[in-house]
Amino acid sequence: MNTFLFVILPYICLAIFVVGHWWRYKYDKFGWTTRSSQLYEDTLLKWGSPLFHFGMLGVVGGHVIGLLLPRGWTDAMGISEHTYHLFALVGGLIAGAMTVTGLVMLVYRRRTVRPVFSATTVMDKVMYLLLGTVILLGIWNTLASGVFGLGGKEFSYRTTVSPWFRGIFYGQPEAALMADAPLGFQLHAIAAFLLFALWPFTRLVHVFSAPLGYLTRPYIVYRSRAEHVARGLGNRSPQPGWERPSLDTSGTS
C-alpha cells in the first residue's frame, strides 16, 4: 500500500503533470489562461488576489528550502536547528496566513458575486477543493507539529519527508521514509500529488505563463518577417508543389 501511495502514485501524477502540460499546450493553446474574472469584480479581487498569490510564493519558497535543501547543507552553513525552525515556523505561518486569507476572500467572492459565479466551471470547483485541502493540511502540519507539538516531540520532516521527496527525482524513492510520518504529512503529500495530476487541466497552468517579461519589455514590439530560404513573393514560405515566381533579377531562367 505504501509503495503505491508514495512511489507509484507520485510517478503517475508527475507523468500526468508533464504529459498533460505538453498536451494542453499543443492542443489548447488558446485555452491556456487564468480565466481572469477581473472584469466582473475587482474590489475583493484587489485584496484577495495579491494576498493569495504572494502568500503562495512564500509557501512555495518554504517548500523549496524544506524539501529540496538537504539538512546537511544548512548545517554546513552554520544554521542551527533552532534558527532554522524559528525561521521556517514564522515564515511559514505568515505565508500560510496570507494564502488562507486570500483564498477565503477569493472563494467568498467567487460564490457571492453572481457574474463571477456564473463564470465558474466544474473544473474550477474541483481545483479549488483540492487546492484548499492541500493548503489546509499543510498549515495543519505546521501548526500541529511545530506549534502545538502534538505527538510528543516535533516531527522532523527534514529527515523523512524531504529525502523521500528528493528520492523521487533521483529515481530511488523510499516509501518507508513516509510510512512513519504523521497522517497529516502523508495526506498532504498525497493531496499535493493529486493536485499536480489535475494541474494541467485547470487554470493553474497560468503559473507557467506568468508575464515576467512585461517588467522589462519596451512598450512597442516590432517583429519583422523571418527570412525564408529561397522565398518567393508574399509573406508565406513556399508551399510544396508550386513553383513560385522568383525575385531573381539575373535575367536567366
Kindly list the residues in this chain that would bind another protein in the complex (CB under 8 A).
Answer: 30, 215-227
Sign of CA dihedral 175, 188, 130, 52: negative
Residue 248 has a CB neighbour count (10 Å cut-off) of: 9
Nearer to another protein, 1 or 226 (CB): 226
Q: How far is the CB of 29 from another protein (least distance, A)?
A: 8
35/236 with CB nearer another protein: 236
CB of 235: closest distance to another protein in angstroms? 9
Contact assessment for residue 117 and residue 111, using Cβ atoms and an 8 Å cutoff: yes
CB of 23 to another protein, least distance (A): 19
81-112 vs 122-141: helix crossing angle, rounded to 10: 150
Q: Nine-digit cell at 124?
A: 474550477
Q: Which of 97, 93, 88, 94 is nearest to 157 (CA)?
A: 88
User: Shortest Cβ distance from residue 212 to another protein (Å)?
Assistant: 10
Nearer to another protein, 43 or 239 (CB): 239
CB of 213 to another protein, least distance (A): 8
- Write out the H or E segment, with its range, that includes residue 81: helix 81-112
Nearer Cβ to another protein (26/225) = 225
63 vs 206, beta carbon nearer another protein: 206
Give the integer Cα–Cα distance in Å for 182 and 191.
14
Residue found under cell 523523512: 160
